[in-house]
Amino acid sequence: MKPLVRNAALNSYVELSQSLGIDPRALMKSVGLDPVGLAVQDRWISGAAVTQLLELSAVASHREDFGLLLAERRRFANLGPISLVIREEPDVRSALGLLMRHNYMYNEMLRSRVSEANGLTTLKVGLELGEAMEARQATELAVGAFHGVLRTFLGARWQSVTVCFTHSAPKDIGTHRHIFGPVVEFDREFTGIVFYTSDLDTPNTMSDPLLRNYARQYFDSIAVSRDTTVLDRVRELIEVLLPSGRCSIEQVASSLGVDRRTVHRYLAGSGETFSSLLNATRTELAEQLVANPRRSLTEVSGLLGFSGPSGFSRWFREQFGSSPREWRVGRARQQHSGEE
């Protein structure tokens, strides 16, 4: 199946795009992504769509360094729950190892490995997209993010031995030199970061031994398995695709890198059909969205994938026994009564 990534992969994308004078909403919609969905950082989205979005953004902004500019805005907390654990690890080696072992929790495209020889450590970074496509921006984002993590532990003045890319140099390498220093190289045989092995044994000054066990226990309680079920993936993709108006089994199958019959077979094994899962997901989202008075019912209709309010109203009445407007008023009265 094609790899997915968490919404957190696009953290600060909207702000960066707007600062460069391009329309993030239009670009996201062009690749089937929902801008509103970015508010949910831990939701899965198509890795290929993210990769394509970064390439289109680089072209639209006339910035060959778009992915790297996005990496520069990364913060340690953008790693999500795992950041709480690795910040308590005793040294850089342990923290980096933990991050690499669990990269599937936030980015299924990412492939990284470390090797040590002659006093040097090589952190190789790659992406597996499931299809042939340009991925320069996503690659530079990944390398920049790893580089930023290392600097978090080793200090802002830390300098690697070299940072390598297999692709050619951009016309202007100013941003690359600003982030990586004068050691950045292009047209190399691998993509990654080379640094002194002794850096791995640097103590983690952020670590608190008293918190380490608590952090590990918390992480173990929320860590997802590599064997996330197809049912979970389909449900999350339905949530992502509904606002685009293109939520079909064909689109879901394409995002997963399989054909529709395979999706049907997987769902049947869980006692579900695509229609039943779509309706259940829609119903759950409708209850949340209609209850929010700040959203117009026309907007809710679009977020749930309906072509117009009338179709949404008919469906809603079948599910909830009243019109969306009546249900919203009733819910508001219930909440008001509960507060008295």
pLDDT at 115: 92
The identity of residue 86, as a single letter, is I
The per-residue pLDDT for 227 is 47
The answer on pLDDT for 308 being more than 80 is: yes
Mean pLDDT of 149-159: 94
Of 82 and 90, the structure prediction assigns the larger pLDDT to 90
Distances in Å between the Cα of 260 and the Cα atoms of 33, 41, 102, 206, 257 are 21, 28, 30, 48, 10
Statement: residue 2 has pLDDT above 90: no
At residue 157 the predicted structure's pLDDT band, cuts being 50, 70 and 90, is very high
Residue 232 clears pLDDT 80, i.e. is over it: no
Q: Which residues of 96-109 are buried (b: 16+ CB within 10 A; e: fewer)?
A: beebeebbebbbbb
Say whether pLDDT at 327 is over 80. yes
146 vs 151: CA distance, rounded Å:
9
Q: pLDDT tens digits, residue range 48-70?
A: 899 999 999 999 999 999 999 99
What would the mean pLDDT of 281-285 be, rounded to a whole number? Answer: 91
| pLDDT for the residue numbered 269 | 84
Q: What is the dihedral of CA 145, 150, 156, 159, to 10 degrees?
A: -100
Least confident window among 53-57, 125-129, 242-246: 242-246
* Lowest mean pLDDT segment, chosen from 142-146, 218-222, 260-264: 218-222
Mean pLDDT (whole number) for 186-205:
95
338: pLDDT confidence band, cut at 50, 70 and 90?
low
pLDDT band for 39, please (50, 70, 90 cuts).
Answer: confident
Report percent pLDDT > 70 for the chain. 92
Share of the chain above pLDDT 90, in %: 52
* Residue 81: alpha-carbon gap to chain centroid: 13
Predicted confidence (pLDDT) at residue 225 exceeds the cutoff of 60: no
Token output for 321 = 């026994």
Greater pLDDT, 207 or 141: 141
Higher pLDDT, 156 or 1: 156
Check pLDDT > 80 for residue 233: no
Global pTM reads 0.70
pLDDT in the model for residue 101? 80
With 90 as the cut, is the pLDDT of residue 218 above it?
Answer: no
Q: Does 148 have pLDDT greater than 50?
A: yes
Burial class (CB in 10 A: 0-12, 13-18, 19+), 336: exposed
Residue in the structure block whose two tokens are 């197809």 = 230
- The reported pLDDT for the residue numbered 149 is 93
How confident is the model over 210-226, as a mean pLDDT? 67
The mean pLDDT value for 125-134 works out to 88
> Tokens 């606002």 identify what position?
243
Segment 266-283 shows an average pLDDT of 90
- Could you tell me which residues are beta bridge partners of residue 123? 114, 193
Residue 56: what pLDDT? 98
